[in-house]
Structure 1
Amino acid sequence: MTYVLLVVGFALLIKGADFFVEGASKIASLLRVSPLLIGLTIVAFGTSSPEATVSILAALDGSAEVSLGNVIGSNIFNITLVVGITALINPLKVESATIRKEIPFTLLGSMVLLVVISDIALQGFSSNLITRSDGFIFLLIFTVFMYYIFEVARNNREQLDTEEITEKSSWGKNAIKTLLGLAAIIFGGEMVVRNSTEIAISLGMSETLVGLTIVAVGTSLPELVTSITAAIKKQSEIALGNIVGSNIFNILFVLGTSSVITPLPVNDKIFMDIFIMLFLNVVLLIFSRTRYCIGKIEGSILAISYVLYLIFIIIRN
């Protein structure tokens, strides 16, 4: 039965992503807002909902390793496999604003995370901990980022050309399609995570490994499916915005909220994964500067990187 529910979850993710991307891209047109900004906000928040739900529930249950591992593993999965596969399907165009601000912002978030968990090295404490104060810092930075995004959207709105929409039902129809897609993504993601975790634990995997692999991949499936769907529909701005936005949401909002609920103890092993995440963020920034496009070669390198990372953490654990 667990395997059947896993397949149902995958089906909901795929169909939900199709609805969500289509509805969100049309709403962007109606609002005269850049598809990139829609990807960075609405789509990113929607596809990050499983990470938020799982990490917050893990924090409440006292499973800090799953909570933190989920976020780190999801971000690495997004940068490598999601960007890689999406670029292989359709090369991702990179707007200059994304290179200058959004992608470096993910790097900033990763560096802040590294600083706040280094209590032993920086302050001489007996253990590393993401405290409630650290959580509020994350949420404060997240608020600043959201303010910046909406300011950009407001300033760019009148510069964008948009088609005249004569159909009165367009707003309602697309809003319903987007909400239905989001609901299917969240529900499908939950089914996949719950059942895949149950399977993994029954096979004797450790909590840290489950968080970095099964839970991380499961909660990142909406990003993968949504970005692939967006790439197929030639909405590369939504695809890339979704990935970058999701990574920012994961660190600042998901970890921020989780640690405000309850302080999160940090497993020493996670430091290596954070360094890998930082390195991959730099690689993504470099790749995005080459011809302002992440092509098939870069996509192949990123996808292979995830396979190597997966082998590394399985051997390590």
Structure 2
Amino acid sequence: MEFDWESIAFNSCSLVAGLFVFQNGADLFIDHSALIARRFGVSETLVALLIAGSEWEELAVVIASILQNRSSIGLGNVIGSSISNILGAFSLGLLIFPERVVIFDRSSKIYAGALFLVTSVFTLQAYTNSLDFTGGIFCLVAFGIYLFSMGSAVYEGFLTAPQEDEDEEEGGRGNPCEADVAEASERVLGISIFSSTLQVPPSDYHLLMFVVGLMTLSLSGYVLSHSATTLAIDFHLNGSLVGMTILAFATTLPEKLHSTLEGVRGHSGMLVATAAGSNIFLLTLCLGILFISQGEGDDSTELGQELLGFEVWTAWACSLVLLLIVFIGGRRWMGPLLLGCYAAFIVSEFLVFRR
């Protein structure tokens, strides 16, 4: 078996470079969309749910794979990311949590229960061959129900919206005050804003950064999808395999970093909200768009058959593990155990289930 090493080297470099631009574009898009939403009076509850538990990066990859007629890349990335978010990201938070026993609140248990329900429905769809156009519509409806139910629960005080401490990391994905936003805008623009000089309205600045982030996210998502597809061809691998392993690991690096930081700070609620919310986003909105884009013909059904039973059950088992850990309490030794399981999953995909 011969390999085109020049193509492999070029696309590997494109993948790394695209990933760097991809993550910066995602930060711009998410941070400034949250600020714009608050300026226009959008509920902070909705903002918190969409920011703490969202996978806009994976959605960009899904859309890019659809546009390139490589939907198997997007499907593999969605399922692989849902596994990586728990076995890779959540486990890191447990590993470096400051306390030996991690206690989770009622909100965390609700998030974990909601994820287990969504993953169980996904597993049922996979084994009844319902991952098609109709199944895609069902996923989108489920996403809408998830947003409405979680938002209503927060408003009624039954559920706590995921949020970080206000006095930590003002530049992160928290809730910066208007003075901090204005000061940050001046630093980025490199100018002093006085009444007698050039004035840049903060709203216009955030809107500009939102557009730049969206464009960067879209273009880099296209580069990632294209380079991953080419690497799959060069190594004679199935597109869904590359999306489930290499691409999923790369695109979930921000979640791993975020979970590590939350683990150091001792924020158990954010650990669960990030993992559960991200996976619900993936298995409802991302999968819904992916299968609806295939139409009502045989293409949609064939795409669903790209998944192996091993991968479906692994995703379901991850949601079950998260649910059990949240209810019985986390232990530090669980972190390396889950990381070992993730390594075993990657190795199994390449050596045992390679297709």
TM range (shorter): 0.7 to 0.9
CA contact (8 A) 2:107 2:269 kept: no
Compute the displacement of 1:111 (Å): 1.6
Where in structure 2 are the equivalents of 1:12-31 lying within 5 Å? 12=21
Secondary structure at the aligned position of 2:53 is classed as helix
Compute the displacement of 1:147 (Å): 0.6
| TM-score, L = length of structure 2 | 0.68
Query: Could you tell me which amino acid in structure 2 is paired with residue 95 of structure 1?
Result: D
Q: CA RMSD in A?
A: 4.1
Partners in 2 of 1:150 and 1:297 — Cα distance? 34
The number of aligned residues is 302
Compute the displacement of 1:244 (Å): 1.2
Compute the displacement of 1:257 (Å): 1.5
Deviations 1:101-139, CA, capped at 9 Å, x for gaps: 2112111112212222333xxxxxxxx352222111111
Partners in 2 of 1:273 and 1:258 — Cα distance? 18
Where in structure 2 are the equivalents of 1:234-249 lying within 5 Å? 236-249=268-281
Compute the displacement of 1:280 (Å): 1.7
Partners in 1 of 2:340 and 2:244 — Cα distance? 17
Partners in 2 of 1:137 and 1:207 — Cα distance? 25
Compute the displacement of 1:93 (Å): 5.8
1:118 aligns with 2:130: no
Match of 1:98 in 2: 108
Secondary structure at the aligned position of 2:85 is classed as helix
Query: Closer, same or farther in 2 for the Cα pair 1:108/1:177, shift >3 Å?
Result: farther
1:308 aligns with 2:344: yes
Deviations 1:258-284, CA, capped at 9 Å, x for gaps: 112223422265222111211121111
Compute the displacement of 1:298 (Å): 1.4
Match of 2:133 in 1: 132
Partners in 1 of 2:149 and 2:305 — Cα distance? 33
Query: Could you tell me which amino acid in structure 2 is paired with residue 216 of structure 1?
Result: A
Partners in 2 of 1:248 and 1:239 — Cα distance? 14
CA contact (8 A) 1:185 1:222 kept: no
Partners in 1 of 2:258 and 2:117 — Cα distance? 25
Query: Could you tell me which amino acid in structure 2 is paired with residue 214 of structure 1?
Result: I
Query: Closer, same or farther in 2 for the Cα pair 1:254/1:22, shift >3 Å?
Result: closer
Query: Closer, same or farther in 2 for the Cα pair 1:65/1:22, shift >3 Å?
Result: closer
Structure 2, unaligned runs of 5 or more: 1-9, 168-175, 186-201, 295-299
Secondary structure at the aligned position of 1:130 is classed as coil
1:141 aligns with 2:150: no
Secondary structure at the aligned position of 1:42 is classed as helix
Partners in 1 of 2:36 and 2:268 — Cα distance? 16
Partners in 2 of 1:308 and 1:193 — Cα distance? 25
**Aligned counterpart for 1:280 among listed residues 300, 314, 318:** 318
**Aligned counterpart for 2:80 among listed residues 58, 70, 73:** 73
Partners in 1 of 2:320 and 2:150 — Cα distance? 22
Moved more, 131-140 or 184-193: 184-193
Query: Closer, same or farther in 2 for the Cα pair 1:235/1:178, shift >3 Å?
Result: farther
CA contact (8 A) 2:26 2:56 kept: no
CA contact (8 A) 2:26 2:57 kept: no
Please identify which structure carries the higher helix content: 1
CA contact (8 A) 1:109 1:248 kept: yes
Query: Could you tell me which amino acid in structure 1 is paired with residue 320 of structure 2?
Result: V
Compute the displacement of 1:75 (Å): 0.7
Partners in 2 of 1:214 and 1:251 — Cα distance? 19
Secondary structure at the aligned position of 1:316 is classed as coil
Compute the displacement of 1:53 (Å): 2.6
Identity of aligned residues (%): 22
Where in structure 2 are the equivalents of 1:236-275 lying within 5 Å? 236-262=268-294, 263-265=300-302, 266-267=304-305, 269-275=307-313
Partners in 1 of 2:335 and 2:208 — Cα distance? 30
Query: Could you tell me which amino acid in structure 1 is paired with residue 333 of structure 2?
Result: I
| TM-score, L = length of structure 1 | 0.75
Query: Closer, same or farther in 2 for the Cα pair 1:21/1:66, shift >3 Å?
Result: closer
Deviations 1:176-212, CA, capped at 9 Å, x for gaps: 8995778767766655554344334322222232132
Match of 1:299 in 2: 335
Partners in 1 of 2:67 and 2:301 — Cα distance? 10
CA contact (8 A) 1:38 1:241 kept: no
Query: Closer, same or farther in 2 for the Cα pair 1:184/1:301, shift >3 Å?
Result: farther
